[in-house]
Amino acid sequence: MVAYRHLGSSGLKITEITYGNWLTHGSQVEADTAVDCVHTALDLGITSFDTADVYANTVAEEVLGQALKGQRRESLEIFTKVYWPIGPKGPNDVGLSRKHIMEGIDGSLRRLGMDYVDLYQAHRYDYATPLEETMQAFADVVRAGKALYIGVSEWTAEQIRAGQELATQMGFRLVSNQPQYSALWRIIEDKVVPTSTELGMGQIVWSPMAEGVLSGKYLPGQQPPAGSRATDEKGGREMISRWMRDDVLTAVQRLKPIADDAGLTMPQLAIAWVLQHDFISAALVGASRPEQLVENVKASGVQLGEDVMTAIDQALGDVVERDPALTVSPEQRPA
């Protein structure tokens, strides 16, 4: 079964492999398959589920809510997010204004069919709204019992520190950050992680397999497999494009003997690598087929020795991205 970890320094425990439905529910997979994946996750011991209002323009929340109907609510940890444009995408259907946050949480709860979420996250930083307004709105969401905890996603170290200071003044705390993180994408290590750790915030990281590149399925000099994310016209191909270079794909193939020696598949190695870091509260894993989850959750509880971690670093070499300046939010609200 999947192990639990504390969400930052809070008292909330979440499954260290958390099921995320970005790029799948409501878009890449049919509703029946999505429900099967959620039920498989539950059978495997996953009780933490991450979604967002923007995923499939609110449909992903609806699908997740339907899939979890009938489950004991107290036994689940449900995360969602607010910021990106949704619905008709009008001028107030985006951002972290008080109006959008208060309407956003009500919309998310309605679609999920729940009275509260465990974690409500600012999906990016909103330069168009005073931070005080955003933090006050989150404080009111918590006081209303509509969210138990508040987190952020892809905020810089400076934004996290300023947000935590205001949150503390208003009687609550930021407990988490949700950044991208993998053996290939390590931009949070230099600034975001030390700041978050100091402030008691855990990392719930997305794309631990670098959009699937670390699975090893993509080979240098060859066309991507039919039906893979790199061929998906609904957004997957665009997201993965930065990794589809021969130097990256060649480096990733050097991980295969390391995984073999450890008795792991390459996806399991990628997830296990993320989970070796004590600043990680959870790795987000999605699935387009239930059997993917069955294999990937086997990374939970795996201990990689220092020799294995060093071998991974040596195999990937200089294709790893580490520039902390790449933690960014749009300077203008997206339309």
Query: In this structure, is residue 316 part of a structural domain?
Result: yes
Q: What is the pLDDT of residues 45-64, one digit of tens each?
A: 999 999 999 999 999 999 99
Query: In this structure, is residue 297 part of a structural domain?
Result: yes
- How far apart CA 123 and CA 239 sit, in angstroms, is 17
Residue 214 in contact with residue 244, Cβ under 8 Å?
Answer: no
Q: Which residues are annotated as catalytic?
A: 55
Query: In this structure, is residue 332 part of a structural domain?
Result: no
Taking residues 93-107, report their average pLDDT: 98
Taking residues 226-247, report their average pLDDT: 73
- Give the CA distances from residue 258 to residues 14, 181, 291, 298, 311, in Å, rounded to whole numbers and listed in that order: 29, 20, 23, 17, 7
Residue ranges making up the domain that contains 212: 4-326
- How far apart CA 86 and CA 62 sit, in angstroms, is 14
Q: What is the pTM of this model?
A: 0.95
pLDDT of the residue at 223: 77
pLDDT of the residue at 2: 97
Query: In this structure, is residue 334 part of a structural domain?
Result: no
Counted domains in the chain: 1
Query: In this structure, is residue 333 part of a structural domain?
Result: no
Residue 298's CATH number = 3.20.20.100
Query: In this structure, is residue 172 part of a structural domain?
Result: yes
Residue 208 in contact with residue 284, Cβ under 8 Å?
Answer: yes
Q: What is the pLDDT of residues 186-206, one digit of tens each?
A: 999 999 999 999 999 999 999
